[in-house]
Structure 1
Amino acid sequence: MNMNDARHLRWIAGMGAAFFACGAAAAELTSPPVAPVAEDVTSGLSPWQIRVRALGVITEDSGSINGVTGSDLSYSDSLIPELDISYFFTDNIAAELILGTTYANINEDGAVGVPVGKAWLLPPTLTLQYHFTDFGAFKPYVGAGINYSLFYNQSEKPGFHNLHVDNHVGAALQVGFDYMVDDHWGVNFDVKKIFLETEWKADHDVLGPLSGKAKIDPLLIGAGVTYRF
């Protein structure tokens, strides 16, 4: 190879390298920027979920009237609708706010042996849950949290006046499962235990002022429909 041929080859190689560099720079200038993909901790689903349940409220019949020997209280059970709203922080950890309202007829089954009155109860409950994700469409969970029981619209039976039941803050435990038909819809079964022991008082026409403890401790058994957004 003579000197002229070598110079020609070096010139061609240099031109090729320059052409390649210009093409790469043009590609960088014309290619649209790629947006970063945010990590989704909930497998592509919204973190929000709602449930609508039919809820059976089964009370623990226990309580007392101060100063009346052999007194005992009982409370009526009820069936109510319930709405709860859940937010998933991760696939496993969620917070659930439980909303519903019910009432209880209060009866004295011991020394007095008469109905006392009726009180409505709004018991919003917030639980922190752990959801198990290793069973496919079957998704069990456990939870624990706090309940605030607000008594309102209290009314008395004949012979009683000025019935008042104190509001109460207590603990709540929960266990249940969802069975998901698809990514969004499922059926739910849920059991909660609310620890509710409060103070009450009323005036009686014959016995005078009465007061005592009402240990309700309801067991809430619910079944319904789940929707994950």
Structure 2
Amino acid sequence: MKKLMTALPALLAALTLAPAPALAGSTEGHLQVKVLGTGVLPDGKIVKVSKDPLGLTVGANTTANDNYVPTLAIEYFVTPNISAETICCFTQHHVSGTGALAPATHIVDHVLVLPATLTLKYHLPLEGGIKPYIGAGPSMFLYFGEKPGSSITPLGVTKVKFANDVGFALQAGVDIPVGDKGLGISLDAKKYFMDTTAHFYAGNAEVLTTKHSLDPWVVSAGLAYRF
């Protein structure tokens, strides 16, 4: 799956440049672009500890905050009812403690996540052009700008790094046409199955390593244009 995600930019370029018989807006066009408002609702709990010499995670857990961002989806219809779709967005989160770590409200203050995702979708045509769909495909979460929070820097933590990892996404939604010129309304929900490993450092020494279940729901609504 990592090879597939590495090839994603080339695939998107090929899809974008592919010849399409419908150049103007059309409900039967090969390309569809969606501009969406999206809620990213992760978990963030600790599922494994592989290094914790000070026993910091005993009776403790963590959670990641929700975030709401604009997103862009690009979709190519291979057949009238089968398509491939990818999304583009950055979402920003912080990590806080729960349980014995509840007072630690700023464990990781800032992390940007790029959820590179490619899903294959099947659309069920209904009366009036309404098309509910289901989809599934691989995803890779890429992490940028991680910073240790004010709750752990007094303990000597100087750096935190999240490991990029590959997971899987399930998808369901519906496209509702508005007229016959390719405009529409889109509602979409994805459930990701994704873990990451957090590495905490004091100088060059790794002092804590924890694996976290992210498994976010990603729910979106917005406008679509097919051509």
TM-score under structure 2 length normalisation: 0.77
* Pair 1:152-2:144 in alignment: yes
Q: Which has the higher strand share?
A: 2
Q: What does residue 101 of structure 1 align with?
A: 90
Please give the alpha-carbon distance, in whole angstroms, between the structure 2 residues aligned to 1:123 and 1:107. 21
C-alpha distance 73-64 of structure 1, shift in aligned 2 (>3 A): farther
Answer 1 or 2: higher relative contact order, Cα 8 Å, separation at least 6: 2
Structure 1: gaps of 5 or more residues: 1-39
**1:107-118 residue pairs with structure 2 within 5 A?**
107-112=96-101, 113-114=103-104, 115-117=106-108, 118=110
**C-alpha offsets along residues 177-201 of structure 1, whole Å, 9 cap, x if unaligned?**
0110123101111000111111111
Counterpart in 2 of 1:16?
Answer: none
Partner residue in 2 for 1:54: 37
Structure label with greater radius of gyration: 1
Q: Distance in 1 between matches of 2:47 and 2:120?
A: 33
Q: 1:138 to 1:45 in 2, by over 3 A?
A: closer
Write the mapping of 1:127-146 to structure 2, written as runs, cut at 5 A.
Answer: 127-146=119-138
Contact 2:44 / 2:95 at 8 angstroms: preserved in 1?
Answer: no
CA distance in 2, matches of 1:197, 1:99: 20
Q: Give the whole-Å Cα distance in 2 for the aligned partners of 1:204 and 1:110.
A: 24
Tell me the CA shift for residue 44 of structure 1.
Answer: 8.0
The answer for the alignment partner of 2:198 in structure 1 is 200
Amino acid at match of 1:141: Y
Q: 2:172 aligns with which of 175, 196, 205?
A: 175
Give 1:59 shift: 1.1
**Ranges in structure 2 where 5+ consecutive residues have no aligned partner:** 1-20
Look up the SS of the partner of 1:136 in the other structure: helix
> May I ask how many residue pairs the two structures share in their alignment?
187
Deviation of 1:109 after TM superposition, in Å, equals 2.0
